[in-house]
Amino acid sequence: MGNISKQIDEIITKRKVRLQYIENAREKADIVLENMYRFKDFQDEIRGNIDTFQTAEGSFDVAGSIESIPTDEFFNLHKVYVSELERIINRLSRNNLNISFIGRTGQGKSLVMQNISGLDSAVIPSSNRGDCTGAKSIITNSESGPVSAKIHFYGKEEMVDIVNQYLLKLTDGHRFIKDVSDIPAIKTEEMRENLYKNKSETVKEEDWLDHLCKYVEHYNDYIDDLGSVKDVTEREIEYYIAQYSSQNAEQKYYKYLGVKLADINTNFLNEDAGNIVLVDTVGIGATSLGIEEEMLKAVENDSDAIIFMFRPDNKRGRISDNEINIIRNIAERVSPEYTKEMLFWVINRVETGDSGDNVNQVNDVIQIIKQRNYPIADVLNVNCSSKEEVENRLLIPVLKQLSSRIQDVDNLLVDKLNETGEKLFQMYSQICQATDRAFASSANEDLKRKFYRKINPTIKKGLLNELRKLYLDDYNNLRHMPCEELMSAASGKFKNIIKAVPTKEMVMDLLSYGDANQFNAYEACTNIMRMQIIDDFTELNNVLYDIVERMKKKVLHIFTDEDKGRLGLVYPLDCSSDEWIDGFLDLVEGEKKYPFLSDALRKFQSYTINVQGFLIHEIREQLDPIDISLPRPDGSSSVPQISGSMAQPELVAEEIVEWLKTYAEDVHDNVEITLKDLYKTPNRSMFAAIKDLYDRITYTMADNESKIAEEWRYLYEDWMHLIWKEEYQQQSAVKVVAEEWNDVVSKLKDINKHEYFIIKN
Amino acid sequence: MNIINVMMFGGRRCGKTSVIAAMKGCFHEVFGDNTDLDINISDIATMDVIDEKNAEISQYFINKTRSIVMNQSYSATQGLMEYKLDICIKGKDGRTILNLCDFPGEWLDQNHQDEQRTLRSKIEHCNIIVIAIDTVYLMEKAANHNAGSVGIYNERRNYCKHIANMIKDSFQVADGEFPKMIMFIPLKCEKYYNSGEMELVKGRIHTAYKEIFDFSEENKGKYEIIIAPVLTLGKNTAEFSRFEYGDDGEIMLDKDLMIPSMPKYIFKDISCSYSPKYCEQPLLYILAYILDLMQKIKSNERINAGLFKKFKLHILETYYNLASAQDFLEHKKIITGQLKMDNDGYEIISDPLQLKEMAV
């Protein structure tokens, strides 16, 4: 087994592993759908019995809230998601890699496939006399046995659809058939007369009518085969897929009208071709209807690599709108990212032949293609009548690209699927949120009074007092101490200052660049070092981000824990702090209903520490020793003495490195000392952030009233149906609805998780 | 004949021998035309070691490269070395032997208990202790730019606390005894001299050797304490560049001592020449001490003498060239006039010899 075929086998094996994840996602998609249908049924039930549901205090319409949650958009997107999933499942299930050949008629597709597969024109018809391939065929590289094929025929319903395409077009949608047995009765003569009468007929319409006539006149050629699959020998294949005999063009065939697909097995000429399949498509521009759509479907569903065949005109080296449109349509259908990896534009170079050579035009066309930057993997210049060129300049480059890049392309497809999954998840989450809101603010005054004894201690003891403890017991002590994590991370950066000194070899490279002298090289080194050092210290932002996020999570745990603020029962803290604040305020409509509380949380959310704010300028100041644009503090030049001549670049480079190491040491020590005073900053800053939040959510006043206390109470009253779910159910006026509702919604929410919509790639 | 014992203290390879070498290098300057003092080397053989040291230093300037690693080729002091110098006033009888005692810095390590016992007995009979300081280790890798913090490798290199303990234990002055001298000599301080940081060097010596200063404060009037920096290479010559780093960005350390193994120095101006500075000062301070001591001995001798002995001394001093207290006082005045007492890191911290007063 050669290298390429081995790689192809490995790819196929890896695809099977990945397939398990995709199939798993498919199952999850069904679970999601099932839950949504349950929810929809519940909505329908309410819709049908809306009058029977009570409303608490007669003013709050729970049933209306539930019934009005929109779901149509979700179901539509779910359909798209599932079809994308199934497409990928099909793709990964294949035991071969598929190479599809597309292009207008007469561009050399069949010729190339003959030269790859070793099949002759009897099996893969090719000719210069117009449309020759009558049906789509796939050719599988099979190591053993004689050439054979399975001929798959259309079903009867599919045939009705095909014929109706022509009928509807020709009669402006007035006539169509319902059954395949109606075909012989179609009055084609009458239709032709009408075309002439109207004098509005076009060449296209005449062609369509010609095609329709074939289906009508040769009904008996295909009717008995419909719905069946036949095993045929090599000799018989042409009879089923070609429009005429390769030996005698006068000998017409019509079996192809009923053929959906010819699945041919043969041993390819190249021994290292491996498990690949060539997918032949009917030439675009053939007058049959639906050809382009068929081609796009083949590209989308059945292709790993796509070969677009193009034979430039022998007189003018140009590309027509047809070619551009084909490329554009394919890129639109499968994404430009895909085509940039797997769409090959093959320029068929004709050196001899009836219609003259196009050698001079080929280069012009290739140049134009390259200039225009089409979304393709490569443009290949191939004499398609030469077996050797087809192998070396087409097959091998394509197989190499396939074996090296197809996994990335698969990743790309899964990423795209995940984009749809993410949208679907967002919609699903919104529905879940809407279900939460349905009962918000539904409590009447009696209920509120009953719950007061729960609400008040939760706010004061569970939440505010715990937050007070956090800043007093933890962060008040911490703010006098350096931030250990930052210190530890910074120590790695100090080492990098020393490592930033370029090596002697790098300096020698700089010295050899153009007419650079030793001072230019020294300056270049210092410039590189400064940027490298600043970039490196800027990476400390990651550490600071983690520290701040941890602090925010501690604070939000006080808001959300069941034994503290309990707000996690409204919106669980299983996400980042940022997401929680966004999600929570969005759900409870915070900005509208609890503006002071929202303002405090938003300010806390926007709190951040970054090195640009307190560190970088200090570090920058310490870089002066390696900045020759700045004089030394004593006014002397920052350019060191570099002895030795440019004739001895090695010695000069050594000197430059010595100087750089000397000044890097100064920078290192000064930065280290400078930062020592700054390590406390994060802890001090975080203390301030928590204290500020506490002050805002405790003391905010307006019009001489504690507005914030009021907002806290309203919040807990509005959301008591989730915060104290069981107690609420027992005492609620809408108890009956609530019980069933809770059952439906809890199932819905159980899977309101990314893992149900996103595939790990 | 009087013997003045001087002991050199300091960690290994920090420059103890360099101080002696520097002193020898300026004999002519000190004992030249300005004074009637004379110096003779009693033991020529031992001084060869000193000459080797001087040759090593001048070698840096002969085959100059941009950067150097000091003390790499020079062999460490082997065993206890004593360098004896005869000092006298020209034309006068009465010699003083100056006995400079040098020992390997390794002896200060914990695993040299026997050697340390030898040192302690030497210290007890010693008049002057010279503490050589490797300034680079005192100054570099400190926590901040203040005098209150010293380099993290300082203690392991300069043995400050260990030396302080030995002084407190064995270098005591009984009440009524003549004062003793402790002289700190910061070496390799070219970098800090060139960048105007000698006051910081001085401040950090106060921090690093605080125990000695506190001890002297508790024993007021018993110790003459001086900080006298020496630039063995000279101003604007080779100055400290860095402790060399390994590829991992960490300083390369000596595995045993856990101090940087390769301190590198750089010639900022490759055309500079060897121009040592203040090398004469340690010797001048030692001479000032000797002359002060001799003057006091002579004065006491005369005060305590009976009438006959007083007459005999008068005859010997007047007619037989015996050096008198007045002779020593006059030479002490001359020497004191040459002492550097402030700026560039110089300081007389405790002055029972009243050198400052005499200089005014």
pLDDT tens digits, one per residue of A588-622: 999 999 999 999 999 999 999 999 988 899 999 99
How does residue A202 score in pLDDT terms, banded at 50, 70 and 90? low
Are A662 and B266 an interchain contact pair (Cβ–Cβ within 8 Å)? yes
Residue pair A464/A694 in contact (Cβ under 8 Å)? The answer is: yes
Q: In whole angstroms, what is the distance from residue B266 CA to residue B237 CA? A: 8
Closest to A719 measured CA to CA, from A458, A428, A425, A426: A458
Show residues of chain A in contact with B243, CB under 8 Å. 665
Are A673 and B67 an interchain contact pair (Cβ–Cβ within 8 Å)? no
* Residue from the list A495, A662, A665 with its beta carbon closest to the beta carbon of B250: A495
Structure tokens at A342: 């797997």
Neighbours of A224 (CB within 10 A): 10
Neighbours of A95 (CB within 10 A): 11
| Closest chain B residue to A671, measured at CA | B144
pLDDT reported for residue A134:
63
| Closest chain A residue to B195, measured at CA | A634
| Closest chain B residue to A634, measured at CA | B195
Residues pairing with B277 in the sheet: B231
Are B143 and A676 an interchain contact pair (Cβ–Cβ within 8 Å)? yes
Q: Which of A19-28, A260-269, B24-33 has the highest mean pLDDT?
A: A19-28
* Residue from the list B142, B243, B269 with its beta carbon closest to the beta carbon of A641: B269
CA B122 to chain centroid:
17
Q: In whole angstroms, what is the distance from residue A159 CA to residue A163 CA? A: 6
Reported as half-sphere exposure (CB side, CA atoms, 13 A), residue A189 has a value of 3
For residue A207, give the amino acid letter. D
Q: Which residues of A touch B (CB under 8 A)?
A: 494-496, 498-499, 640-641, 643, 654-655, 658-659, 661-662, 664-665, 669, 673, 676
pLDDT reported for residue B128:
96
Show residues of chain A in contact with B142, CB under 8 Å. 673
Are A640 and B268 an interchain contact pair (Cβ–Cβ within 8 Å)? yes
| Closest chain A residue to B265, measured at CA | A662
pLDDT reported for residue A127:
52
* Pairing of the two strands B128-134 and B223-227: unpaired
B2-235+276-297+331-355 has which CATH code?
3.40.50.300
- Number of residues in chain B: 360
| Closest chain A residue to B146, measured at CA | A673
Interface test with A, best of B66, B197, B265, B269 (most A CBs within 10 A): B66
Q: In whole angstroms, what is the distance from residue B138 CA to residue A353 CA? A: 91
Structure tokens at A19: 């397939």
Residues pairing with B183 in the sheet: B130, B226
Closest to A427 measured CA to CA, from A70, A728, A755, A85: A70
Q: Is the dihedral of CA A265, A269, A273, A278 positive or negative?
A: negative
Higher pLDDT, A53 or B3: B3
User: Across the beta sheet with B96-102, what order do the strands follow?
Assistant: B37-41, B81-89, B96-102, B2-9, B128-134, B180-187, B223-227, B347-350
Which percentage of chain A shows pLDDT scores above 90?
54
The DSSP output letter for A754 is G
How does residue B66 score in pLDDT terms, banded at 50, 70 and 90? confident
User: Across the beta sheet with A229-233, what order do the strands follow?
Assistant: A229-233, A148-153, A259-266, A137-141, A276-280, A97-102, A305-310, A343-348, A378-382
pLDDT reported for residue A59:
46
* Residue from the list B66, B141, B243 with its beta carbon closest to the beta carbon of A658: B66
Span of A627-641, A684-698, B46-60, B177-191 with lowest mean pLDDT: B46-60
| Closest chain B residue to A665, measured at CA | B242
* Residue from the list B66, B145, B264 with its beta carbon closest to the beta carbon of A673: B145
pLDDT reported for residue A4:
75
- Number of residues in chain A: 761
pLDDT above 80 for A587? yes
Closest to A53 measured CA to CA, from A375, A439, A331: A439
Q: In whole angstroms, what is the distance from residue A553 CA to residue B290 CA? A: 74
Higher pLDDT, A244 or B44: A244
Rounded to 5 degrees, what angle do the CA atoms A454, A460, A462 make? 75
3-class DSSP assignment, residue B9: strand
CA B325 to chain centroid:
26
Show residues of chain A in contact with B249, CB under 8 Å. 494-496, 498-499
pLDDT above 60 for A129? no
* Residue from the list A640, A654, A662 with its beta carbon closest to the beta carbon of B242: A662
Neighbours of A493 (CB within 10 A): 20
CA distance A667 to chain B (A): 11
Span of A241-250, A592-601, A618-627 with lowest mean pLDDT: A241-250
The whole-number average pLDDT for the span A163-174 is 88
Q: What residues does each domain of chain B span?
A: 2-235+276-297+331-355
3-class DSSP assignment, residue B288: helix
| Closest chain A residue to B240, measured at CA | A662
Residue pair A724/A451 in contact (Cβ under 8 Å)? The answer is: yes
Are A643 and B242 an interchain contact pair (Cβ–Cβ within 8 Å)? no
Residues pairing with B185 in the sheet: B132
Residue pair B233/B190 in contact (Cβ under 8 Å)? The answer is: yes
Interface test with A, best of B242, B269, B272 (most A CBs within 10 A): B242
Show residues of chain B in contact with A665, CB under 8 Å. 241-243
pLDDT above 80 for B30? no
For chains A and B, CB pairs below 8 A equal 42
CA dihedral A575, A576, A581, A582 (to 10 degrees): -80
Q: Chain-wide mean pLDDT for chain A?
A: 88
Show residues of chain B in contact with A676, CB under 8 Å. 143-144
Rounded to 5 degrees, what angle do the CA atoms A185, A189, A194 make? 120
Q: In whole angstroms, what is the distance from residue A419 CA to residue A425 CA? A: 10
**pLDDT, tens only, A257-267:** 999 989 999 99
| Closest chain A residue to B140, measured at CA | A669
pLDDT above 70 for B275? yes
The whole-number average pLDDT for the span A258-279 is 88
Q: What are phi and psi of A138, to 5 degrees?
A: -120, 140
pLDDT reported for residue A178:
93
Show residues of chain A in contact with B146, CB under 8 Å. none
Are B66 and A655 an interchain contact pair (Cβ–Cβ within 8 Å)? yes
- Strand ranges (DSSP E) for A560-710? none
The whole-number average pLDDT for the span B82-102 is 84
Q: In whole angstroms, what is the distance from residue A614 CA to residue B201 CA? A: 31
Structure tokens at A757: 């919509």
Show residues of chain A in contact with B263, CB under 8 Å. none
pLDDT reported for residue A61:
67
The DSSP output letter for A53 is S
How does residue A57 score in pLDDT terms, banded at 50, 70 and 90? very low
pLDDT reported for residue A217:
94
Interface test with B, best of A487, A495, A501, A679 (most B CBs within 10 A): A495
**pLDDT, tens only, A449-486:** 888 889 999 999 999 999 999 999 999 999 999 999 99
The whole-number average pLDDT for the span A317-324 is 84
Residues pairing with A705 in the sheet: A702
Closest to A39 measured CA to CA, from A420, A422, A428, A423: A428
Show residues of chain B in contact with A659, CB under 8 Å. 66, 266
CA distance A541 to chain B (A): 22
**pLDDT, tens only, A526-539:** 999 999 999 999 99
3-class DSSP assignment, residue B186: strand
CA dihedral A196, A198, A199, A204 (to 10 degrees): -80
Q: In whole angstroms, what is the distance from residue A352 CA to residue A437 CA? A: 76
Residue pair A97/A305 in contact (Cβ under 8 Å)? The answer is: yes
Q: Which of A301-315, A350-364, B80-94 has the highest mean pLDDT?
A: A301-315
How far is the CA of B260 from the CAs of A741, B68, B160, B200, B249, in angstroms?
74, 15, 17, 22, 13
Closest to A102 measured CA to CA, from A298, A325, A355: A298
